[in-house]
């Protein structure tokens, strides 16, 4: 009851917990699905309870509708990515994180964006779960970098301009330009202009204060007449609604202050024209788009190329009078044919011919042209085939009937046309050495009636040669002999020596063990040798205990001759050696040395040797008596492993003759008939293969344009080459013919009509202008332009716009001459010159009409009627330019190495060569011309020397030293020492010790107890002497030999060497001649490239060469590596023309090292570059007024330059650019005039835009921060009147992104102190002095003024900011540390040895207590003693010196006789006076 009561008191605090939503389920895709989740009731402390404990009304739903995603929804939904927001510093998002006080590389930040799943078609947002089904949600945040603020950087100021006035008060300006714009919130740009007043002098008379200014032309206005439309809308002008109107401009008189004044204030006789004729501007008007044309593709192929369809629109009104240009009149888009019943497209496939034979010479010819014609080559090669496109075969067509078509019809990557292959190198027949001559046997043991015998010797084939054994040399040789036999006894071995008379030692015999053999050496029954001579027992001797012990006889050596004749006979030797000498009396003595060797005759038969010699097998000839073999018989052929089919059996024959060695052919009976080789053998005949070619392709189409002399062609391709006597290929594989003359020529051209009459501005408009006349003056005239076909027929204007180039000009300015105007003809051409540099040439013009009678027109100064100029003088001078090239050896002196490769030791790499310097040729006007004009081939040559390499040179070997140990194993040493070090790349020395010696060590032995010697393997050869002969190195090979304790299990552990028997010690070193290992192997120099014209600075040429794919050996056993050789050339003005070589095999060990010069250069010959270029703009000129709107002009002229871009070049005759299209810097639109503004006197205005600055990156310590590069240009303000400065416009600058920017660093620079100040400025890393860019926090101090100021005489402000004294003076300070006065320094000079003078000088040093440099002409050292301290008081040592002087005086007083007291007093007085004078004593001290 108590528990129940408690339960009623306690209240439950329960909450509903939710599980995640499950997978969306449903039978259909889309929004009809449903998903569920778990919902349960839990106590607030976390444990689960009954559902009834939670409020049922608040229970969340456990089921909801959802969108069931299917795979095809991927095409309907996708993630939509918003733009990244501004980068926010991390410190602003993180509470408590301080922002950095000084910005170095920028501040880390975070930027966010919005990402949502949307419907692709309309962009409506939907649930993210749909897109997450296919790919994860893209990230919403990313790290970013907020760069440090970059302040504006400007250049130094220019020099001051001249005064804006020639008299009175004016202004001078100096300008600077923006080099880097302010970025990322950096400080703004400072003023780009500084002004100061100037006054050259007083003005004489009244100063002109007013100027006439013309304004810009106003808009073109229509002339309001009854007949407003011009009659120019005639033939060819229906698309140009030309209406001639007029435009006016304002003419005002302005004061220097900028205010407008009355026109009467401007004293000018004639006012400028205020009107002119113009064309009313018309915008381009076009029709609506036409319908799309049919698709150019008429078949259906989903994977093939798409077709094109187009639509057009027509021009209703072309732009005139500066109206906007017409838009595109034609557009196209890819398409597939639409509709039913569209046939499928024809399918085209790639086809290939069979591979050609494998060729090695293709690769070799790339390395060495001499190898390209050699046959019988083997190794790695290349084989090729042809690839062509055909229509896919149908069921009724065969592969052979497919004709080639245009390769563009085949889709996909075409098959390879080349592949690597391998031709096995022929294996030469290798035979063993000859066996010994056999016994004399019958030629045929079954027929022994002839009594004819032969001795035979044989050899065997050791390998499988290419083409079988038919090409091997003969294997048997025979010698006629007498008393032949077919069988003989063969001595197998001798038994043990058995002493005679059953003694233990002494003379005895050895019985032979024999076996019966036939003539082929085969064991046979012993009964067959019953007639043969049995070998006799051999005498021998078993040594007694005290006898001399001899070794057994060695085997007989090979016979010295194969036969015996008058001058030679065969000999064999054998030998034995003494194993132990006789011990004491009674022992048998050892034989002398001659008895240790025996000689016997051998091969005593005459030198009459015969053998059968075979010729090569002949051609396989069909044998009609044998039925044809199965055609499926095949054999793998050599080469590339193709299977070759054989169709029949044939016969081959060869010639067999008997030959006597060293004589020649002899009758066949001289050779053993039983050994005669076969002369006939069967063979297999390969099947015939006829040539197979494709049918001819269709004729190529003729061009649609009206071109003459064009041809069309067709071809066929060889699919299979003939072989084995098959039908040959046709000779003609390519045909061409002239195209038929086209009856329709679709070419177009512009036709221009006559200019219409000059139309003036209506008189009603210009009658108020002073000096205007009704029937003359400036006007405008138009002409008609029409489009024609090349055959003269009319055509649509759009066709000419598309095919005939830009439209001719429709209007031009004109002038109707007034009665008072002077009219002249145009200038004639200049007359010709009789010779260069001689005489003058002239041109003329004449007055026409009524101008001939007017006096003002006859003024030849205003209207000259002739011009004269000197005849051109073509004088040329040559000048060297650029640096000298490398020293280059002449090509003829080279020695070719193996396969064109160069082994550095075998070719001439040094000696006399030549170096080159480029020449330029200038004419009399200092313009670049061809070098041939100066009788030069473009170079100066000069002899030079390449020093030859010298190898390391060592002395001869010294004598051997004594053995290092008296017992056991020691060593003895001999040495060589260095005589000459290598230089200029010679072979290096072997490793030398600290005294430049190299040693050879061999073991030496003494008598000791026996142990076991154990030798390690031999080391590699080490070159100890370098020789230039063929065997270029003398080497030593060493190994470790150790004495080891011998146990039952073999050698166990090393012991001291003296425990082993020295006589059994293996050699630890051995010497031998050794070829130099691994000399460097280089390719030959690549050829010089042809220098391209230097007109394009970036013009380059390159080529690639690959070495033979199979390496080859050069001087060593190391093989060359496969390597690509890259030759790269770049040439521009005075550029370097390179040639290179590469290392095929690096030097190994002590081989001669590779030359460091792997590339050489020489200058490119300088050639003139011609180009069209604008001349400079003329000064802006305002017609008829002093200032205001005007025009400036320029021309397009032909210029010659050297292509470097460093100098502007010179203008030359236009004929030299005749072959060039008239473009300037690639722009075909030539602009020769533009409007400009002439500032009025006193007006404040902006300069022209400066050139773009260098492209600059945002960098820290040379590292690009990744914000791109930028360049900037600016306009500064120019002022002329001090009163008008407030009316000046604002300065301007603009920036743009650029590429290939550079990193620049800025640092503070300081100058020397001058008084209390010094210069401090900022400098860019390229040496340019700038303002801005350097951090202000690290700016050095430029001023060090003292406070209070230094006003005492001889004082100045020091670097420490305190007052000090000038040289020669010392500081006397007050008690509070302030300078009180500057006192002259007393100086004590102590002369030293060699100093003849001992006078006192007052010299001030920077540190008077340190020795100064000797004065000129004096030796020794001088010390300067400063008696006063910084506080102005005497130093302690001064008192010590004074006390010492006093003691010295007392000593003199007691030492000198009293008789001289008067004199002593006098001297005492004098010394004291001098001392005080030298020490500048104070009065108290005196």
Q: What is the pLDDT of residues 921-966, one digit of tens each?
A: 888 777 888 888 887 778 888 899 888 888 888 888 888 887 777 5
**In the 3-class helix/strand/coil scheme, how is 387-414 assigned residue by residue?**
EEEEECCCCCCCHHHCCEECHHHCCCCC
The C-alpha atoms of residue 907 and residue 905 are separated, in whole angstroms, by 6
| Distance separating alpha carbons of residues 1409 and 640, to the nearest angstrom | 97
pLDDT of residue 1480: 40
Mean pLDDT of 1285-1309: 89
pLDDT(785) > 60: yes
What integer best gives the mean pLDDT of the chain?
Answer: 76
Q: Does residue 1218 surpass a pLDDT of 60?
A: yes
Q: Give the per-residue pLDDT at 1427.
A: 61
208 pLDDT above the threshold of 80: no
What whole-number distance in Å separates Cα of residue 441 and Cα of residue 517?
Answer: 12
* pLDDT at site 290: 92
Predicted confidence at residue 5, as pLDDT, reads 33
pLDDT band (50, 70, 90) for residue 1473: very low
57 DSSP assignment? G
What is the Cα–Cα distance from 1310 to 836, expressed in whole angstroms? 61
Is it the case that residue 1030 has pLDDT exceeding 50? no
Helix, strand and coil in the chain, % to nearest 5? 10, 35, 55
Q: Tokens for 1128?
A: 């790269």
pLDDT at 351 over 80: yes
Count of CA atoms in the C-beta half-sphere (13 A) of 721 = 7
Q: With contact defined as beta carbons under 8 Å apart, do 524 and 516 qualify?
A: yes
Between these two residues, 1450 and 1374, which has the higher pLDDT value?
1374
pLDDT band (50, 70, 90) for residue 822: confident
Report the percent of the chain where pLDDT is more than 90. Answer: 7
Give the whole-angstrom CA distance, residue 629 versus residue 621.
14
Structure confidence at residue 398 as a pLDDT band (50, 70, 90) = low
Which range has the worst mean pLDDT, 335-349, 643-657, 711-725, 757-771?
757-771
Is 1121 or 886 the better-scoring residue by pLDDT?
886
pLDDT tier at 1468, thresholds 50, 70, 90: very low
Q: What is the pLDDT of residue 32?
A: 80
Q: Which has the minimum average pLDDT: 451-455, 633-637, 729-733?
A: 633-637
Question: Quick check: 220 and 280 in contact, CB under 8 A?
Answer: yes
CA–CA dist 286, 312 (Å, integer): 10
| Lowest mean pLDDT across 202-211, 530-539, 755-764 | 202-211
Which whole number is the average pLDDT over 1309-1332? 88
Which of residues 1286 and 82 earns the better pLDDT score? 82
Higher pLDDT, 64 or 854: 64
Q: Distance between CA atoms of 484 and 1125, rounded to whole angstroms?
A: 70
- Work out the pLDDT band at 1216, boundaries 50, 70, 90: confident
Which distant-in-sequence residues (6+ apart) come within 8 Å of 1217 by Cβ?
1170, 1171, 1172, 1198
Shortest CA distance to 1195 belongs to which of 1234, 1232, 1235?
1232
pLDDT surpassing 50 at residue 879: yes
Is the pLDDT reported for residue 1 higher than 90?
no
Q: State the pLDDT at residue 1438.
A: 67
pLDDT at 1162 > cutoff 90: no
Instruction: Report pLDDT digits (tens) over 1093-1146.
Output: 445 443 333 333 333 323 322 222 222 222 223 232 323 344 677 787 776 556
Q: Are 1046 and 1083 in contact (CB under 8 A)?
A: no
Residue with the larger pLDDT of the pair 1473 and 253: 253
Q: pLDDT tens digits for 713-732?
A: 888 888 888 888 888 999 88
Give percent of the chain above pLDDT 70.
Answer: 77
**pLDDT value, residue 839:** 78
CA–CA dist 135, 794 (Å, integer)? 63
pLDDT value for 115:
93
Position 902 scores a pLDDT of 37
Token pair belonging to 353: 């011919």
Residue 1412's pLDDT is 37
899 vs 850, which has greater pLDDT?
850
What does the pLDDT look like over 136-163, one tens digit per residue? 999 999 888 888 888 899 999 999 998 8
In sequence order, the β-bridge partners of residue 1472 are none
Residue 1435: the pLDDT is 62
| Measured distance CA(1387)–CA(1146) in Å, rounded | 73
DSSP-derived pairing of the beta strands 307-312 and 911-922: unpaired
- What is the rounded average pLDDT of the residues 737-757? 76
- Does the pTM of the predicted model rise above 0.85? no
pLDDT for res 1102: 36
Torsion-angle region of residue 663: left (phi > 0), alpha (psi -120 to 50) or beta? alpha
What pLDDT score does 1408 carry?
39
Closest CA to 274 of 855, 644, 777: 777
The pLDDT assigned to 373 comes to 43
Non-local CB neighbours of 680 within 8 Å, separated by 6+ positions: 651, 652, 653
360's CB contacts (< 8 A; 6+ apart) are 377, 378, 379, 380, 381, 423
**Band of pLDDT at residue 1399, cut at 50, 70 and 90:** very low
> What does the pLDDT read at residue 1270?
92
3-class SS of residue 1433: coil
Structure tokens at 361: 């010479």
């Amino acid at each position: 009851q108590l528990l129940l009561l408690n339960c009623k008191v306690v209240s439950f605090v329960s909450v509903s917990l939710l599980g995640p939503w499950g997978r969306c389920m449903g039978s259909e895709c889309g929004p009809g699905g449903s998903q569920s989740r778990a919902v349960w009731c839990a106590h607030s402390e976390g444990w689960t309870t009954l559902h009834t404990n939670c409020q049922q009304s608040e229970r969340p739903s456990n089921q909801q509708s959802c969108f069931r995603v299917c795979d095809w929804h991927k095409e309907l939904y996708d993630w939509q990515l918003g733009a990244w927001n501004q980068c926010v510093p991390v410190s602003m998002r993180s509470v408590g994180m301080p922002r950095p006080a000084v910005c170095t590389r920028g501040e880390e930040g975070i930027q966010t964006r919005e990402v949502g799943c949307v419907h692709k078609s309309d962009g409506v947002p939907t649930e993210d779960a749909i897109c997450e089904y296919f790919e994860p949600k893209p990230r919403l945040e990313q790290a970013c970098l907020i760069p440090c603020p970059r302040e504006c950087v400007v250049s130094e100021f220019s020099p001051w301009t001249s005064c804006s006035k020639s008299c009175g008060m004016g202004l001078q300006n100096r300008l600077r330009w923006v080099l880097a714009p302010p970025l990322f919130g950096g400080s703004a740009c400072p003023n780009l202009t500084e002004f100061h007043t100037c006054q050259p002098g007083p003005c004489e008379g009244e100063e002109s204060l007013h100027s006439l200014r013309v304004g810009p032309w106003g808009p073109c206005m229509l002339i309001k007449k009854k007949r407003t439309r011009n009659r120019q809308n005639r033939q060819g002008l229906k698309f140009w609604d030309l209406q001639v109107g007029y435009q006016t401009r304002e003419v005002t008189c302005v004061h220097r202050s900028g205010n407008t004044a009355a026109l009467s204030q401007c004293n000018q006789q004639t006012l400028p024209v205020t009107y002119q004729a113009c064309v009313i501007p018309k915008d381009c008007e076009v029709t609506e788009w036409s319908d799309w044309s049919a698709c150019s593709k008429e078949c259906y192929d989903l994977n093939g190329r798409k077709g094109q369809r187009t639509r057009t629109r027509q021009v209703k009104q072309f732009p005139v009078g500066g109206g906007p240009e017409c838009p595109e009149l034609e557009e196209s888009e890819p398409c597939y044919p639409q509709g039913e019943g569209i046939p499928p497209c024809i399918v085209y496939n790639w086809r290939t011919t069979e591979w050609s034979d494998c060729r090695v010479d293709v690769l070799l010819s790339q390395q060495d042209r001499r190898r390209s014609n050699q046959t019988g080559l083997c190794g790695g090669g290349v084989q090729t085939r042809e690839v062509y496109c055909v229509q896919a075969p149908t069921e009724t067509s065969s592969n052979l009937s497919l004709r080639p078509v245009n390769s563009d019809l085949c889709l996909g990557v075409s098959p390879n046309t080349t592949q690597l292959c391998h031709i096995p190198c022929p294996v030469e027949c290798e035979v063993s050495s000859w066996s010994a001559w056999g016994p004399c046997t019958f030629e045929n043991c079954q027929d022994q009636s002839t009594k004819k015998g032969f001795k035979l010797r044989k050899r065997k084939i050791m390998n499988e040669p290419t083409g079988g054994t038919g090409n091997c040399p003969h294997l048997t040789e025979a010698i006629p002999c007498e008393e032949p036999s077919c069988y003989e006894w063969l001595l197998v071995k001798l038994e043990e020596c058995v002493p005679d008379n059953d003694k233990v030692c002494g003379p005895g015999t050895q019985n032979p063990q024999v076996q019966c053999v036939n003539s082929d050496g085969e064991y046979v029954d012993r009964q067959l040798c019953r007639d043969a001579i049995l070998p006799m027992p051999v005498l021998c001797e078993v040594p007694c205990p005290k006898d001399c012990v001899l070794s057994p006889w060695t085997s007989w050596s090979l016979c010295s001759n194969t036969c015996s004749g008058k001058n030679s006979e065969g000999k064999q030797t054998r030998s034995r050696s003494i194993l132990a000498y006789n011990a004491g009396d009674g022992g048998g003595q050892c034989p002398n040395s001659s008895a240790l060797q025996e000689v016997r005759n051998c091969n005593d038969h005459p030198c009459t040797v015969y053998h059968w010699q075979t010729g090569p097998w002949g051609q396989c000839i069909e044998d009609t008596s044998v039925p044809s073999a199965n055609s499926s018989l095949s054999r793998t052929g050599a080469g590339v492993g193709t299977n070759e089919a054989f169709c029949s059996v044939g016969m081959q024959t060869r010639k067999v003759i008997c030959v006597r060695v060293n004589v020649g052919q002899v009758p066949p009976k001289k050779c053993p008939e039983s050994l005669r080789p076969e002369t006939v053998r069967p063979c297999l005949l390969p099947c015939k293969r006829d040539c197979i070619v494709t049918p001819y392709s269709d004729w190529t189409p003729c061009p649609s344009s009206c071109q003459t002399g064009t041809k069309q062609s067709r071809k066929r391709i060889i699919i299979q080459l003939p072989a084995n006597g098959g039908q040959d290929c046709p000779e003609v594989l390519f045909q061409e013919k002239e195209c038929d003359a086209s009856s329709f020529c679709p070419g177009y051209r512009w036709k221009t009509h006559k200019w219409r009459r000059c139309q003036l501005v209506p008189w009603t408009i210009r009658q108020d202008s002073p000096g205007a006349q009704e029937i003359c003056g400036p006007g405008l005239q138009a002409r008609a332009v029409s489009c024609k076909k090349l055959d003269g027929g009319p055509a649509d204007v759009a066709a000419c716009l598309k095919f005939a180039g830009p439209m001719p000009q429709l209007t031009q300015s004109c002038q109707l001459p007034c009665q008072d105007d002077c009219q002249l003809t145009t200038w004639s051409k200049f007359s010709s010159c009789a010779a260069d540099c001689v005489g003058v040439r002239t041109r003329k013009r004449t007055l026409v009409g009524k101008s001939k009678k007017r006096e003002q027109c006859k003024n030849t100064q205003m209207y000259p009627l002739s011009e004269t100029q000197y005849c051109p003088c073509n004088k040329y001078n040559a000048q060297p330019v650029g640096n000298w090239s490398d020293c280059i050896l002449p090509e003829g002196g080279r020695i070719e190495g193996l396969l064109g490769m160069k082994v550095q030791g075998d070719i001439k790499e040094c000696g006399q060569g030549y170096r080159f310097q480029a020449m330029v040729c200038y004419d009399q006007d200092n313009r670049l011309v061809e070098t041939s004009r100066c009788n030069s081939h473009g170079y100066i040559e000069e002899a030079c020397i390449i020093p030859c390499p010298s190898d390391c040179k060592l002395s001869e070997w010294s004598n051997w030293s004594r053995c290092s140990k008296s017992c056991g194993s020691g060593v003895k040493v001999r040495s060589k020492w260095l005589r000459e070090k290598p230089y200029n790349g010679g072979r290096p020395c072997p490793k030398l010790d600290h005294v430049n010696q190299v040693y050879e060590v061999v073991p030496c032995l003494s008598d000791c107890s026996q142990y076991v010697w154990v030798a390690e393997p031999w080391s590699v050869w080490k070159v100890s002497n370098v020789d230039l002969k063929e065997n270029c190195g003398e080497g030593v090979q060493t190994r470790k030999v150790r004495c080891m304790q011998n146990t039952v299990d073999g050698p166990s552990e090393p012991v001291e060497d003296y425990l082993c028997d020295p006589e059994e010690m293996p050699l630890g070193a051995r010497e031998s001649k050794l070829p130099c290992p691994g000399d460097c192997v280089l390719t030959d120099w690549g050829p010089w490239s042809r220098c391209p014209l230097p007109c394009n600075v970036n013009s380059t040429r390159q080529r690639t060469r690959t070495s033979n794919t199979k390496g080859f050996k050069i001087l060593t056993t190391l093989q060359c590596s496969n390597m690509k050789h890259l030759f790269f050339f770049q040439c521009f003005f005075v550029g370097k023309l390179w040639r290179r070589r590469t290392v095929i095999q690096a030097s190994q060990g002590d081989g001669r090292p590779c030359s460091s010069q792997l590339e050489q250069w020489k200058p490119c010959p300088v050639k003139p570059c011609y180009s069209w270029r604008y001349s400079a703009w003329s000064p802006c000129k305002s017609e008829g007024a002093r200032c205001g709107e005007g025009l400036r002009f320029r021309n397009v002229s032909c210029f010659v330059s050297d292509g470097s871009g460093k100098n502007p070049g010179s203008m030359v005759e236009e004929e030299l650019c005749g072959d060039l299209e008239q473009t300037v810097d690639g722009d075909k639109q030539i602009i020769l005039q533009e409007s400009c503004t002439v500032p009025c006197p006193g007006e404040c205005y902006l300069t022209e835009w400066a050139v773009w600055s260098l492209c600059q990156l945002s960098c820290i310590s040379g590292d690009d921060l990744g914000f791109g590069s930028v360049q900037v240009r600016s306009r500064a303000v120019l002022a002329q009147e001090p009163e008008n400065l407030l009316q000046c416009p604002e300065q301007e600058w603009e920036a743009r992104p650029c590429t290939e920017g550079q990193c620049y660093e800025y640092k503070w620079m300081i100058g020397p102190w001058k008084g209390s100040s010094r210069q401090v400025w900022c400098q860019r890393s390229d040496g340019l002095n700038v303002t801005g860019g350097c951090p202000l926090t690290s700016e050095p101090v430029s001023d060090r003024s003292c406070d209070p100021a230094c006003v005492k005489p001889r004082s100045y402000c020091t670097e420490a900011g305190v007052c000090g004294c000038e040289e020669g003076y010392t500081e006397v300070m007050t008690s509070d540390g302030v300078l009180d006065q500057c006192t002259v320094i007393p100086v004590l000079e102590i002369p030293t040895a060699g100093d003849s003078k001992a006078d006192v000088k007052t010299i001030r040093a920077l540190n008077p207590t340190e020795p100064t440099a000797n004065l000129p002409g004096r030796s020794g050292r001088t010390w300067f003693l400063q008696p006063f301290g910084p506080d102005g008081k005497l130093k302690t040592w001064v008192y010590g010196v004074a006390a010492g002087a006093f003691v010295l005086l007392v000593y003199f007083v007691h030492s000198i006789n009293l008789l001289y007291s008067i004199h002593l007093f006098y001297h005492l007085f004098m010394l004291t006076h001098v001392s005080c004078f030298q020490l500048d004593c104070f009065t108290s001290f005196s």
